[in-house]
Structure 1
Amino acid sequence: MNKVSIFEHPEFGRIRTLEIDGKIWFCASDVAAALGYSNPRDAVVRHCKPMGVVVYDTPTRSAVQKIKYISEGNVYRLIAGSKLPSAEKFESWIFDELVPETLKNGGYLLKKNGETDNEL
């Protein structure tokens, strides 16, 4: 069974991820909301390719729900379609920090300004 991981960012909020066959998949609604889409479900339908969308049974506070997760390519498509000025910063956080750290260490810790890996 694949494990859902939750990552928090002070600016972008909570992003749920799922590792499938060594690749990170991202909760579609979390990514769309972080990018400022007013209707995350519609944004996923409009911008994401169906081949890069999987549905996974995900535990939530109330019950296990079927949640859509999107591929890296679809995350880029949502970023490209976002009108949010911080979309580029979001892209950097996801692909320069979160994904490499998750694949390297099995997890991710948000660093404070000036903090090094040794200080974590």
Structure 2
Amino acid sequence: MQLIENHFNDFKVRIILMDGKEYFIAKDIAKILGYSDTDKAIRQHCKKSFSIGDFFNSDKMAGLDFPKDLGNNFKNFQLIPESDVWRLINKSRLPEAEKIEEWITEEVLPEIRKTGSYSVQKVEVEKFTPQTILEIVETGIQILTKFRELNPAEQIELDTFHKNKNGESLLEKFGKN
């Protein structure tokens, strides 16, 4: 288990890597989006939230090295996958959600498309080398594979979001499972 900490404006965004998957601390995301009752927002909008304590039985927890940064109540933290982050963004009518959505769609995603990663520290890309092009293609294949692994409801939700923002359908472009 690994803790990754990022920042958006003055807010912490903590991500926990478990079993090769990324899970966001739900309260961090709900706070950033300006929900006044973060627990209610998580209950109403997140389909796949779970607490760390629910995920592991006591035998499994004994052998894990939990990040000390999480404090003593880490077992009660609600975690959400990326799909629930998007649900919180999409359901929010608050200005904070629009700022996050703009940041993701106008800064983060274009940077990932251009360079294959996103970093707070900007790196100048002079030209694409064959290796860089291969890495970008591999990243695109990984993204397409992850899209195709989503269940149909998640594909439609992501497709609708993408179509509303970019005017094109991912399902029409890449097809269904």
Q: Normalising by the residue count of structure 1, what TM-score does the alignment of the two structures yield? A: 0.68
What is the rounded CA distance, in whole Å, between the counterparts of 2:24 and 2:70 in structure 1?
19
The answer as to 2:77 corresponding to 1:71 is: no
Q: 1:5 to 1:24 in 2, by over 3 A?
A: same
* 49, 64, 89: which one aligns with 1:53: 49
Q: What's the counterpart of residue 108 of structure 2?
A: 97
Pairwise CA RMSD: 3.0
The CA deviation at 1:83 is 1.8
Checking the alignment, whether the CA contact within 8 Å between 2:2 and 2:67 is kept in structure 1 is no
Choose between structure 1 and 2 for higher RCO, CA contacts under 8 A separated by at least 6 residues.
1
- Taking a change above 3 Å as real, the CA distance of residues 61 and 20 of structure 1, as seen in their structure-2 partners, is closer
What is the distance in 2 between the residues matched to 1:28 and 1:47? 11
More strand by share: 1
SS at match of 1:75: helix
2:33 matched to which residue of 1?
35
Q: How much identity, in percent, do the aligned residues show? A: 32
Code of the aligned partner of 2:33: L
Distance 1:70 1:62, change over 3 A: closer
Secondary structure at 2:95 match in 1: coil
**Structure 1: distance between partners of 2:36 and 2:8:** 19
Q: Could you tell me which amino acid in structure 1 is paired with residue 108 of structure 2?
A: E
| Structure 1, gaps ≥5 residues long | none
1:110 match: secondary structure = coil
Matched AA of 2:91: G
**Partner residue in 2 for 1:80:** 90
Matches of 1:10 and 1:117, distance apart in 2: 20
Q: Secondary structure of 1:4's match?
A: strand
Q: 1:15 to 1:46 in 2, by over 3 A?
A: same
Residue matched to 2:3 = 4
User: For structure 2, which runs of at least 5 residues remain unmatched after alignment?
Assistant: 53-65, 126-177
Residue 117 of structure 1 aligns to a residue whose secondary structure is coil
Helix, strand or coil at the partner of 2:7: strand
Describe the shift of the 1:61–1:76 C-alpha distance in structure 2 as closer, same or farther (beyond 3 A): closer
Instruction: Tell whether the 8 Å contact from 1:28 to 1:69 is kept in structure 2 after alignment.
Output: yes
- Per the TM alignment, residue 80 of structure 1 is displaced from its structure 2 partner at its CA by 1.2
Contact map agreement 2:22 2:81 (CA 8 A) in 1: yes
Q: Provide the rounded CA distance (Å) in 2 between the counterparts of 1:93 and 1:20.
A: 26
Higher Cα radius of gyration: 2
